[in-house]
Every structure is written in C-alpha cells, then in structure tokens.
Structure 1
Amino acid sequence: MNIDAGISDLAKEIHVFISNDDRDEMKQSFEAIKNAFQDAKLHIFEDKKHFILKHLGTEDFPEIYEVARP
C-alpha cells in the first residue's frame, strides 16, 4: 500500500477509526496508516465491524461527531 506522506500537510490532525472485528484488509490498512502517520489519533472500538448502519444498528455514532465537529 502506497500512502502519500504529504497528506499530513493538508490536515490539522489525522484520525483513524478501526473496530477489532473489521475485515483483515481493513486491519492491514489501519496498520499501514498508523505506521505512515506516527502522530495520527487512533480510535479503536470493540464490535463495530465496518461502522455501517447494518453493523452499528443505529445512525448514531457520537464518537465521530466529537472528532469532526468544528
């Protein structure tokens, strides 16, 4: 996986969300991003799978709102 390190110059912060039960491909991507951006804020969850409505069972995801709000 090629990750452009210049991305960090375009953002104040980088946040990465992962769930312990997501697919292996997502876990590999998470590791690559974590290694590429040492200052990234990591948000690791239990039992959220891929953070879609089908898996969450709700449209509410306050943790991402806390990160994204101005």
Structure 2
Amino acid sequence: MAQGTPVWVDIQATEGDVLRLMQQHQIRRLPVIENHRLVGMISEADLATHLGVHKVAQYTDRIYSALPSL
C-alpha cells in the first residue's frame, strides 16, 4: 500500500529538478504532470539512457547506498 504524499514533476522541470526529487525521495520512477494530467513517467532506464556516466553514477550511489525507508 502506498503511503505519504505523491511525488511528481512538472513537464517544464529541468534535469537537475528530476535528479534532486528522485534522490531526495529515493524513488526509481517519477510521474510527469502537465495541466494536472499525467503525461509520462521518468524511470531509472531513462536516466541511464539520457544522462552522462558521472550523473548516473551519482544517482545510483545515492539511491542504492541509502538506508531503506519504511
């Protein structure tokens, strides 16, 4: 069962906004919203495909080295 406040990003968000939210909330998928409607989903695979090796390494280090949230 999902708990807490949903985390999402506006379609106009920057690459930095996306990475910050995904790292801060330790999430692997991020819904993309435009005009209060779901228009897409950003996943780890998207990051791996579109970001440089250094940024992907930072993301995975922060996500997978963090303590699990309950």
TM-score, normalised by the number of residues in structure 1: 0.31
The structure with the largest alpha-carbon Rg is 1
